[in-house]
Amino acid sequence: MTSAAQPRIWIAFRAEIGTDPHMIRAISILLLFQLAGESLSRGLDLFVPGPVIGLAALFIALLIFPKLAEVIRVAANGLLAHLSLLFVPAGVGVIAHLGTFGTNGIGLIVALIVSTALAILAAVLTFVLFARLMGQRHE
Amino acid sequence: MNDAVLLWSYLAQEPLLWLTTTLVAYTISDWAAGKAGRHALANPVLMAVILIALVLWVTSTPYATYFEGAQFVHFMLGPATVALALPLYDNLPKVKAALVPMIAALFAGSLTAIITALGIAKAMGITGETLMSLAPKSATAPVALGVSEAIGGQPTLTAVLVILTGISGAIIATPMLNALKITDWRARGFAVGVAAHGIATAHAFRINSTAGAFSGIGMGLNAVLTALLAPLIARLFL
């Protein structure tokens, strides 16, 4: 590579990664909070999973250091935009384990679907009722 | 011919093949879901799962081999859960204003999820280990597995039930809430997060960012509440 060519390649490279200059820092921050969460969860034998503790810790960190939000924004939104994809490997595992249903398959599926629908209904109606009682008009 | 067999037996053991399969299957499913006008039944997770399961079945690949490659995608669930702190922070004023409705909805949704699951299954003749495995189905997977084990369920069965709850919740929610004319994105998001954890949260983010943020909160809070309530309620159904 000639020295004259270098800047141009460098500029092209910068343009390529230019969409998120904080990418590596952002991923490091997310992983550090997950690591802290996992350590707390296992170390103190808590029933709350590590990533959920990491979520709470990062939320508190954001309240204290608002600038952190802009560092993680692109990476965090990128991950959340493709959250569905991340469930695919575990979903494939379901097919591999359908045998665990045994003879109770239909009963389990009916209970699961009806109960999930009722839980959504109960939660959404309660939310709307309390919001109205508090005189909130939603946007 | 022999070379092709050798190549296949090499690739089939490598993470690259199954990681690529996962991403390609999802890309195709997401494109198909878009073509279907994001119809509730055209759920990209469900379609990708069926597509990959077919490939594994045709190539007689064991799930463990597939997961060697897919684990890189699976791993990102951890940092993605941590990343939910950002929409929570961005929506802070809305979250503060909705504190009371959220707590009320959390208890209503969490109790309904546990009691109706156990009640319906018991009425259909399901008992013992299998029944207990169903109790924590609306909580996010790691919590549900822990609860299942603690109350005498089967964690593997619980894992399957949790994923199926997420997929059914994501499929049912939009048509049901539209039919009820619920237009409050906070309420819609929060309810699906409580009832159907991360898979519904992922679905909510695709529809509306406020719904996604509230869904993430619902998921996180119900993880904690299910861990506390499920063992108490499960005792009544033994």
Residue B195: CB partners within 8 Å, gap ≥ 6? A116, A119, A120, A123, B109, B113, B138, B165, B169, B222
**Final residue in a domain of this structure, among A52, A68, A86:** A86
CB–CB contact A113 B78 (8 Å): no
- A–B interface: beta-carbon pairs under 8 A: 323
Contact yes or no for B208/B54 (Cβ under 8 A): no
CB–CB contact A90 B201 (8 Å): no
The answer to whether residues A94 and A73 belong to one domain is no
The answer to whether residues A76 and A108 belong to one domain is no
The answer to whether residues A68 and A136 belong to one domain is no
The answer to whether residues A112 and A96 belong to one domain is yes
The answer to whether residues A119 and A53 belong to one domain is no
Residues 156-195, chain B, touching A (beta carbon < 8 A): 156-157, 159-161, 163-169, 172-173, 176-177, 180, 182-188, 190-192, 194-195
Where residue A127 falls (left for φ over 0; alpha for ψ -120 to 50; beta otherwise) is: alpha
- Determine the pLDDT at residue A7: 55
- Determine the pLDDT at residue B39: 82
- Determine the pLDDT at residue A95: 82
* pTM for the whole structure: 0.85
What residue type is B232 in one-letter code?
A: L
Count up the domains in chain A and report the number.
2
Q: Which structural domain, as residue segments, surrounds residue A101?
A: 89-139
Measured between beta carbons, which residues in chain A are less than 8 angstroms from residue B190? 123-124, 127
- Identify the residue whose tokens are 């005498």: B152
The answer to whether residues A103 and A82 belong to one domain is no
Helix, strand, coil % over all residues of chain B, rounded to 5: 80, 0, 20
Contact yes or no for B45/A88 (Cβ under 8 A): yes
The answer to whether residues A76 and A98 belong to one domain is no
The answer to whether residues A95 and A79 belong to one domain is no
- Determine the pLDDT at residue A9: 54
Q: A71: part of which helix (H) or strand (E)?
A: helix A68-81
- Determine the pLDDT at residue A46: 81
- Determine the pLDDT at residue A1: 41
The answer to whether residues A47 and A3 belong to one domain is yes
In whole angstroms, what separates CA A73 from the centre of its chain?
A: 13
Measured between beta carbons, which residues in chain A are less than 8 angstroms from residue B182? 124, 128
Point out the residues of chain B with pLDDT beneath 50: none
* ipTM, interface predicted TM-score of the complex: 0.89
d(CA B161, CA A98): 10
The answer to whether residues A55 and A96 belong to one domain is no
The answer to whether residues A102 and A70 belong to one domain is no
The answer to whether residues A81 and A94 belong to one domain is no
**Final residue in a domain of this structure, among A63, A86, A109:** A86
Residue B161: CB partners within 8 Å, gap ≥ 6? A108, A112, B133, B134, B137, B144
Would you mind telling me the total number of residues written for chain B in this entry? 238
Where residue B154 falls (left for φ over 0; alpha for ψ -120 to 50; beta otherwise) is: beta
Joined tokens for residue B26: 């999802």
Across chain A, which has 139 residues, the per-10-residue mean pLDDT values are 50 54 91 96 85 92 95 92 89 82 85 96 96 76
